[in-house]
Structure 1
Amino acid sequence: MKKILILSLFVLSISIPYAAAHPFTVDTIPSSSTNAPIGVTEVIVHFSEPIDNNFSSLKVLDSNGEQIDNKDSKYYDGDYSLVVTTPPLEEGVYTVSSKVLSKVDGHLVPNAFIFAVGDAKIDVGTLTKQDISDIVFLPEAGARFPGLVGQTIVLGAIIASIIIWGTQSKQLVKKELDKLENFHHGKFMTLTGIGLVLVFASNILVLAVQTIRLETSVIEVIKTDFGNIWAIRMIITVILLGLWFGMDRKKILTIKNKIPMLIITLGLIGTSSLIGHGAASGETPALILDYIHNFVAAVWIGGIIYFVFALLPTFSQLEETKRDKISLVLIPRFSMMFVVAVGIVIISGPTLMWFLESDVSLITESIYGKLIFVKIAIAAVMIGFGGYFQFKIQKNAERDLQKGTIAIYKKLRKSLKFDVILGITLLGVVALLINGTLPAGEINQVEAQKVSHGFNSLEFSENAKFDIKISSFSSGTNTILVKVSDFENKPLYDSDQIKVKISYPERNISPIEIPMKIIKQEENKPLEFQGDITFGFSGKWKLEVEAQRKQNANESIIIDLVVKPRLTDLSTKIIEYPLPKPSKPLYPLYDGNDSIWISDPSSPRLWEFSIESQNFTSYSFDGLTSMLLTKDSEGKIWFTDTPRNQIGYFDPSNNQIITKTLPKIDPIIDSNTATFIQADFDGNIWISITNKDIILKYYPKTDIFEEIKMPTRGSLPFALTIDNEGKIWFTESASGKIGFINPKDNKISEFMPEKPLASPEAMIFDEEGNLWIAEHTGTAIIKFNPILETFERVSVIDKEALPYGMSFDRYGNIWIPQHTVDKIAVYDPYNKDLIEVSIPTVTSFVQFSTSDSKGNVWFVEQQGNKLSMVKTTEIPITINELNDQDNFSLKYSEIVSPLIAMGIIATSLFFVKNLRDKRRLNELIMSG
């Protein structure tokens, strides 16, 4: 029981870090990732804390990346929001880039969101995730770290010297007292002097970093709200330095002499709280609690530093026995001070976190939360050392003293030095937290997680706005919430009813009306309606919402809903079909009818598998191998025969295979390495000649080959595919680029992310026009948006997997063969989930896949000599499961309340123990 109490106490004692605020986006108009009506003329962004308009701005960019706003950013409704005007926006997708300066902590925070105008389609996945440098400001953390250490040393040394040394009975060292006082004076002044120098240096570094960040002068930086706090902090630092020089001239320092420095240092600590999350919250209790935490941390860590580098060295002037005795008697006095501090944290810590963030899931999933866990681990080790001092070192020393011998000084000093290292490391983590964003500040990632469990959309009719939310947005029973308002977010004065209908025209399901009821009705606020909506199966449903008006025409909108199960709601089974003869199946291709065609690098033949009859048929030709496949507009199956330097095709009209030798390409001394093959819409055939930096275009009607040279030498063109406009896309395996060839003029365009792609060797387009690329040695797939020209990376689970040829299933999930492991990965681009499905055959060596007309995924096992199909079955979500998902949540208060109670009990017990230890040891030593 004692261990449980101690553990609870430890966790609570370090549960709340020092923290500073970052202004993150709270709300936007138009809303992020939604559609606004044509003609919008302004963009408004609300932030979580006050911002400085002189160094803050909004930019509105069109789909070409051109800034189209009027460059007139200004406050909208006080210093928590900005507005920028634009010309009337036409249909399209727009990006809003913000860069705002916090009035609280002085951080210049970048962010961005996208919205669409009119009927333009928007892809939420194109938003760039926040980099850790946008969440934890590393240069600022480095600049503030010395100041954090310095103020901790100064305040901790002053308070510890007053409580521990200043009030300690010195009867034991009465003869050596003058000598000890002089020596202690020197050590105390040296330690506090180092602390003040660190604070002063940190102030200069902070000002330098801020000046560079804002790209302005020092004077302009000081004029900002943050600069004002910095100036106050610098003035306090200078005053403390002046007091330090005055105290250094004194021979002996009394408690009274230290009081002025203590009071001024408390003001120095206050400047840290004025740039903290507590101040940013606008809540006075939160600001007070934040200050208490700054204070308590200084008492704890600064006190340890004082004990190691001032007090224990002072005892070195004593003869060995007295040195050990006074070291022993000071342990409980030292511990009492920290137990009191911990007791304060137990109450104030969780309370402060309640003001700042009480969502347990956000805390645990954020970078901020992960830093807290690191801090908890370090602090737990430090507190463990405290327990070691009491229950091991102190106990053994007391037993030895009763026997007439004692040796504690050296053990204590050695152990505490390690504690000091941990304390400074902990302050380094604290420096990151000081410059870290609260969990809710990681807004893009949080919203992405929310989307994965529901549907959110803001739709507009001629005179009304519909805010629609559906959870959990999957087949089965869901909850739909609808809020109807005018464009100014005010209720429709003549409407208090809505009609909601769903239909599935492709399957002749007529509109079904959904009963809706009012769940929220507040004065001057839009009505909120709720109902249960059931999707019988996954697919493209239509949703119609109509606001019933009494004095005006009804307002209605119709939207398409793509209902799909999450990966966890899919049951998968792999069905394997062994080929009738030994072979090395490489590339499967669905022909659009009933057959899966399979290439065979082990022999000159093609395999045809009938899906209906489940029979294999082989077709031989004059050559060596068949490698990659494509199908042209006439239904011919084309292939590359790389070692024979030829291509060929299977003609379904006569079941014959015709081959064609590729032309010689400079340098002729090297044979051609033909890899991928792709048919275009005109029946022409494209072949990548990987080793010659050439893509060949073959015109079957005229029997002519045309060479298209890659712009980049040594690029190694590899994979080929075609988009809806007929452009031929290619990957460059060596140079890490992708690009396309315009077949009208053979003009080449290339694209590459900041870091070259690692062996891009397979690609496929999705229904929305995004290009997905397999980074073969980069163990990832890449989503490329051809309109915005952005890259988004998704790492696979197994770092040895080598992802390859992808395909989509009926739900829009991407299936990714991994030919070095016996698993095939599947990624849900809507919900951003990734799992792996095991392949029954060991050493299957899967490289490529294809999809049939029903959305079934097929792949071949080259070493297993099998064709396999992935059979997926949706597991319906029941009403009870939905209710469980909606109702279950780990509440912050349910976790914290019992821990606070246990912590207070444990603190009380430890305080009483230390008090008794102090009295007992004093009596024991004085009697000895």
Structure 2
Amino acid sequence: MNKNTKKLLALSFMAIFIVSTVSVAFLGGGRVANRVSTTDRTITGTPADNYKDKDRPTFCQTGPAKSNKYITEFKIPTACTQPLAIVVDSSGSVWFTESNTGNLGKFDPSSKSFQEFANPQWQSGEKSMMWGLGIAQDGNIWITDSQHSLVWKFNPIDKSYQRFVFPKSNSSGGSFPQMLLIDGKNAYINDFTGRQIGVFSTDHIGPDIGMTTIPSPGNNNFTSSMVTDSSGKIWYTTWIYQQGGNLVSYDQKTGNFTQYTLPQDIQAPNGITIDSSGKLWIMDTASSYFFDFDPISKKFTKHTTSPPPVSAYGNASGLIKTPISRPYWDHFDDNGRLWFNEQVANSLGAYDPSAQSLVEYVIPSKNPNWSDCGTIPDCGVAQLLDFTVNHNKVWFTEWVENNIGVLDPSVALPINVTTSDASIIIHHGQNATVSFNINPQEQLSSPVSIITANTAGPQTISVKPQQTSITVDTPQTVKVRISADNFATPGTYNVLIGARYQDITVSKYISVTLE
């Protein structure tokens, strides 16, 4: 790994990279068409020409599309498009943005064919993180362009693009239109660094988008993505990296804000969604945690993913002591499961609140240039930066592998897990033992690893399985000891116990109350 790649890797683990990503740190800020040097790059006539030869494996791809029994990947015909935002229309066609070309792409799942629609207004050599993508009721497609502070409209009938200027912000951070939410005829865009939410009508006609802005309350640096509830209130987060922030509710009828202080554990709250009961779910991209918030009780509850698989982070240097998964965006499917992408775990997770279970799927493609892989084979991350759920299938993009993919959660899992207890009570300095049961659903070709995590941290709760690896040719039970520190803070915490088999991790949660 050369010095430049190490620097890129270090930056990639910063929350600012995670949200505003490479638009500043990697893309160099815009127009490069007149600055291309042929001494350090082979001209191919493709978007790969935007990168030096030595950087192409890092940003373009390292191999062909891959698949397994759960996930199928598809290689985009044009090289190095860097797909980002993704959405599925009413006919089942999959649309995605190409952040290295300014174009919109379309994939037909029936014919497995791609179409890419050139944007004639895009200058050659430019790049922009195009995070936001939404389809309006009239069929037009809206796109955010963070690099140029623009909003684009694409007409799928005549294949035309129209651009609109996103309102400038008074913030010192400038404007950064990021995610896009369409609710009815209204579209909402969070200005990530501009401390505001933009609102406009998707049926507006004219050279001006007619956008109004809602300034975020307070002086927090960042304004993350938003969701609307059944009453039309807008919910979003404002925050300062590692310094806290607020969950904000804005009433569009009255113009009133209500703010709730985020738990100190939340360092970079990005994704937010809402369930059928009105509960908000927030992803913390600077950790392995995600949270729910009950507007009635005003209570936050903390949850955790499993630890990332070694195949994602590598740790060839031995310097990574506590790997984290970095959950990013989140959506609910038709069955009430909460889906989220775990960026540096190279995984998609599905949390079932009713069953208190979690299934995590590792993405087949892996780019070693974004992890501490050294010479470790089949290691790295594909930079799964966005996904969408459509009729219980999950479509996603791989930003540095030039793929889109689809996950089919109806495919049977190789194992099923249960626990002897759904909740336990432990007193300071004491411990309890629970049984973790693993039932094979097929003939397994390798041992199963037992993994654990908890929301309290090792200084409060210790979770030790009797075995860390077990052959599961018949139903097996693993005893797990859960201990409370003598000086543990009283409270209720979530303990995750999981079984990892190849690229699938199946886990259950136990509620642990310390008294």
Indicate the TM-score class for this superposition, using the shorter chain for normalisation. 0.5 to 0.7
Q: Give 1:802 deviation, angstroms.
A: 1.1
Which is greater in Rg? 1
Superposition pairs for residues 304-453 of structure 1, below 5 Å?
none
Measure the CA separation in 2 of the matches of 1:876 and 1:775. Answer: 27
Q: Give 1:754 deviation, angstroms.
A: 4.1
**Aligned partner of 2:197: which letter?**
I
Superposition pairs for residues 4-83 of structure 1, below 5 Å?
none
**Aligned partner of 1:665: which letter?**
S
Number of the residue aligned with 1:689: 191
> Helix, strand or coil: the match of 1:804?
strand
Q: Does 1:602 align with 2:78?
A: no
> Helix, strand or coil: the match of 2:147?
helix
Q: Does 1:729 align with 2:235?
A: yes
Change (3 A) 1:756 1:842: closer
What's the CA shift string for 1:118-144, capped at 9, x where partnerless?
xxxxxxxxxxxxxxxxxxxxxxxxxxx
| 1:596–1:610 CA contact under 8 A, matched in 2 | yes
> Helix, strand or coil: the match of 1:643?
coil
Superposition pairs for residues 534-573 of structure 1, below 5 Å?
573=70
Measure the CA separation in 2 of the matches of 1:738 and 1:833. Answer: 26
Number of the residue aligned with 1:717: 223
**Aligned partner of 1:574: which letter?**
I
| 1:629–1:676 CA contact under 8 A, matched in 2 | yes
> Helix, strand or coil: the match of 1:736?
strand
Measure the CA separation in 1 of the matches of 2:413 and 2:291. Answer: 31
Q: Give 1:741 deviation, angstroms.
A: 2.2
Q: 1:838 aligns with which of 362, 366, 369?
A: 362
Measure the CA separation in 2 of the matches of 1:769 and 1:759. Answer: 22
Q: Give 1:646 deviation, angstroms.
A: 0.7
Q: CA RMSD in A?
A: 3.0
> Helix, strand or coil: the match of 1:726?
coil
| 1:759–1:775 CA contact under 8 A, matched in 2 | yes
Superposition pairs for residues 140-179 of structure 1, below 5 Å?
none
> Helix, strand or coil: the match of 2:83?
coil
Give the fraction of aligned pairs with identical amino acids, expressed as a percent.
21
Task: Name structure 1 gaps, 5 residues minimum.
Answer: 1-570, 891-928
Measure the CA separation in 2 of the matches of 1:756 and 1:693. Answer: 22
Measure the CA separation in 2 of the matches of 1:807 and 1:670. Answer: 29
| 2:283–2:327 CA contact under 8 A, matched in 1 | yes
Q: Give 1:732 deviation, angstroms.
A: 1.6
Q: Does 1:674 align with 2:177?
A: yes
Measure the CA separation in 2 of the matches of 1:833 and 1:713. Answer: 38
Q: Give 1:875 deviation, angstroms.
A: 4.3
What's the CA shift string for 1:851-874, capped at 9, x where partnerless?
11x211111111111111112235
- Structure 1 moving runs of 4+ over 4 Å: 874-877
Number of the residue aligned with 1:861: 398
Q: Does 1:580 align with 2:49?
A: no
Q: Give 1:841 deviation, angstroms.
A: 0.6
Q: Give 1:810 deviation, angstroms.
A: 4.6
More helix by share: 1
Measure the CA separation in 1 of the matches of 2:231 and 2:98. Answer: 31
Q: Give 1:572 deviation, angstroms.
A: 5.8
What's the CA shift string for 1:167-217, capped at 9, x where partnerless?
xxxxxxxxxxxxxxxxxxxxxxxxxxxxxxxxxxxxxxxxxxxxxxxxxxx
Superposition pairs for residues 745-760 of structure 1, below 5 Å?
745-755=254-264, 757-760=266-269
When normalised by structure 1's length, the TM-score is: 0.31
Q: Give 1:725 deviation, angstroms.
A: 2.9
Change (3 A) 1:737 1:873: same
More strand by share: 2
Q: Does 1:824 align with 2:348?
A: yes
> Helix, strand or coil: the match of 2:193?
helix
Number of the residue aligned with 2:389: 851
Number of the residue aligned with 1:648: 152
Change (3 A) 1:758 1:592: farther
What's the CA shift string for 1:868-889, capped at 9, x where partnerless?
1112235499xxx9xx99xx99
What's the CA shift string for 1:534-556, capped at 9, x where partnerless?
xxxxxxxxxxxxxxxxxxxxxxx
> Helix, strand or coil: the match of 1:825?
strand
Change (3 A) 1:748 1:831: same
**Aligned partner of 1:855: which letter?**
N
Measure the CA separation in 2 of the matches of 1:732 and 1:850. Answer: 24
Change (3 A) 1:815 1:684: closer
Measure the CA separation in 1 of the matches of 2:252 and 2:117. Answer: 32
Q: Give 1:783 deviation, angstroms.
A: 1.5
Measure the CA separation in 2 of the matches of 1:777 and 1:869. Answer: 26
Measure the CA separation in 2 of the matches of 1:638 and 1:589. Answer: 11
Q: Give 1:772 deviation, angstroms.
A: 1.5
**Aligned partner of 1:787: which letter?**
I
Number of the residue aligned with 1:767: 276
**Aligned partner of 1:651: which letter?**
N
| 1:680–1:726 CA contact under 8 A, matched in 2 | no
| 1:737–1:757 CA contact under 8 A, matched in 2 | no
Number of the residue aligned with 1:800: 324
**Aligned partner of 1:783: which letter?**
D
Change (3 A) 1:617 1:743: farther
Change (3 A) 1:630 1:720: farther
When normalised by structure 2's length, the TM-score is: 0.55
> Helix, strand or coil: the match of 1:583?
coil
> Helix, strand or coil: the match of 1:627?
coil
Q: Give 1:690 deviation, angstroms.
A: 2.0
> Helix, strand or coil: the match of 1:746?
coil
Measure the CA separation in 1 of the matches of 2:336 and 2:360. Answer: 16
**Aligned partner of 2:143: which letter?**
F
Q: Does 1:788 align with 2:297?
A: yes
| 1:719–1:762 CA contact under 8 A, matched in 2 | yes
What's the CA shift string for 1:390-446, capped at 9, x where partnerless?
xxxxxxxxxxxxxxxxxxxxxxxxxxxxxxxxxxxxxxxxxxxxxxxxxxxxxxxxx
Change (3 A) 1:692 1:677: same
**Aligned partner of 2:285: which letter?**
H
Q: Give 1:824 deviation, angstroms.
A: 2.4
Q: Give 1:756 deviation, angstroms.
A: 5.8
Q: Give 1:655 deviation, angstroms.
A: 2.8
> Helix, strand or coil: the match of 1:797?
coil
| 2:325–2:345 CA contact under 8 A, matched in 1 | yes
Superposition pairs for residues 129-148 of structure 1, below 5 Å?
none
Number of positions where the alignment pairs a residue of Structure 1 with one of Structure 2? 311
Q: Give 1:749 deviation, angstroms.
A: 2.1
Q: 2:286 aligns with which of 755, 777, 787?
A: 777
> Helix, strand or coil: the match of 1:773?
strand
Measure the CA separation in 1 of the matches of 2:179 and 2:135. Answer: 12
| 1:733–1:761 CA contact under 8 A, matched in 2 | no
Number of the residue aligned with 1:27: none
| 2:143–2:153 CA contact under 8 A, matched in 1 | yes
Measure the CA separation in 1 of the matches of 2:151 and 2:90. Answer: 22
Change (3 A) 1:574 1:874: closer
Q: Give 1:608 deviation, angstroms.
A: 1.5
Q: Does 1:873 align with 2:397?
A: no
| 1:810–1:856 CA contact under 8 A, matched in 2 | no
| 2:263–2:300 CA contact under 8 A, matched in 1 | no
> Helix, strand or coil: the match of 2:327?
coil
Measure the CA separation in 1 of the matches of 2:180 and 2:412. Answer: 39
> Helix, strand or coil: the match of 1:644?
coil
Change (3 A) 1:707 1:816: closer
Change (3 A) 1:607 1:725: farther
| 2:290–2:327 CA contact under 8 A, matched in 1 | yes
Q: 2:210 aligns with which of 698, 704, 709?
A: 704
Number of the residue aligned with 2:139: 635
**Aligned partner of 2:293: which letter?**
F
Measure the CA separation in 1 of the matches of 2:284 and 2:173. Answer: 27
| 2:329–2:386 CA contact under 8 A, matched in 1 | yes
